[in-house]
Amino acid sequence: MPRLLGVDIPNDKQIQYSLTYLYGVGLYTAREVCEKLKIDPTRPASDLAEDEVSRLAAMLERDYTVEGPLRRQLSTNIARLREIKSYRGLRHRMSLPVRGQRTKTNARTRKGPRKTVAGKKGVKDLR
């Protein structure tokens, strides 16, 4: 199992799909990197030689923001939004959807499980 930037990439998959296991590398970027390094993207990752693995790691480290630095960059961006108290920062702080989605229904992923509120009096009780 080749190890790139601290992540084990699967042996049995093609290189182009194995590279997508790295945070910040999608299929397009994976194919682009393989093309630049003249590596066949359809080869299994187990067929990578040590020099190819090191060239891949060096290029990803040099030309792309991936893994740790990308996670750090995203967290500092969110921290900045919170600090300046922008609308998006407040939504992040309250764990609500940030990009304008509705919250009356849905939004369960951000809001968490439903919290049941004590029932209101029914119409019959008002008579």
> In this structure, are residues 25 and 41 in contact, taking their beta carbons and an 8 Å threshold?
no
| Alpha-carbon span 13 to 10, nearest angstrom | 6
* Helix orientation angle between 27-36 and 50-63, rounded to the nearest 10 degrees: 120
| Alpha-carbon span 122 to 92, nearest angstrom | 36
> In this structure, are residues 66 and 22 in contact, taking their beta carbons and an 8 Å threshold?
yes
* pTM (predicted TM-score): 0.75
Residue 70 has pLDDT above 90, yes or no: yes
User: Over the stretch 6-15, which tens digit does the pLDDT of each residue have?
Assistant: 888 888 899 9
pLDDT band at 127 (very low <50, low <70, confident <90, very high): low
95-108 core/surface letters (b: 16 or more CB in 10 A; e: else): eeebeeeeeeeeee
Residue 83 has pLDDT above 90, yes or no: yes
User: Which residue has tokens 């509705």?
Assistant: 102
> In this structure, are residues 98 and 91 in contact, taking their beta carbons and an 8 Å threshold?
yes
Share of the chain above pLDDT 70, in %: 94
What's the pLDDT at 122? 66
User: Which residue has tokens 């040099």?
Assistant: 62
